[in-house]
Every structure is written in structure tokens, then in C-alpha cells.
Amino acid sequence: MRLRHIIAYLIGAVEALLLARLLLRLLAARPDNPVVSVFLAATGPLIAPLAFLDAGQPHFGATLELSTLALFLLLVIVGLAVEQGFRRLDSSGKGMS
């Protein structure tokens, strides 16, 4: 039960970071702002494997980062699958005892 909560918190934290990055890029946050710059640099490695999705996008101004959106949706699906797996383990464990 404890492992279930740890995994849920980790996935939720990464989803929150990705959502914040997506909103910053959609609202055209200035990358020369130190806070925004540090945040984008810190979350950059998360989306690096999917950066090819943003190859044609401008680097400045309001942009919809498809890599961030894709990773966010992938994490939602993975989180739901993990939760479903834990539910199956819980229900099979109750039936055995």
C-alpha cells in the first residue's frame, strides 16, 4: 500500500511540473526571466526524448509544446495503468486469504 502512494506522488509531481511548463510556454513566459529560465532548464531533460515533436515550433512566443503534452498524456495513462495493476493485486490478495 505504501509503494502505491509513493508511485502516485512521483507521477503526480512530474505531471504537475509538465503542466506548469506547458502553461508557461502557452502563455509566452519570457525565457530571459531567471525563474522561468531555471524552470525550463530543469524540466527540459524530461521532454528531451520527445523533442523531435517540436522541431518546427518557434523558440519564442506562445507555443504549444507537443512533446510536453505527449509526455503528460503518457504519464496519465501510465499512472492509471499502475493504479489498475495495484487494484488487481489487492483484489487477488484478498481472495487468497
Over the stretch 34-87, which tens digit does the pLDDT of each residue have?
A: 999 999 999 999 999 999 998 888 877 888 999 999 999 999 999 999 999 888
Q: 33 is written with which cell numbers? A: 526571466
| Distance set, CA 68 to CA 19, 40, 78 (Å) | 8, 11, 15
How many Å apart are CA 75 and CA 35, to the nearest integer? 25
Does residue 26 sit within a domain?
Answer: yes
Does residue 6 sit within a domain?
Answer: yes
Number of domains observed in the structure of the chain: 1
Q: 62 is written with which cell numbers? A: 506562445
CB 11 within 8 A of CB 77: no
pTM: 0.83
Does residue 48 sit within a domain?
Answer: no
Does residue 57 sit within a domain?
Answer: no
Domain limits for position 20? 2-43+62-87
CB 57 within 8 A of CB 69: no
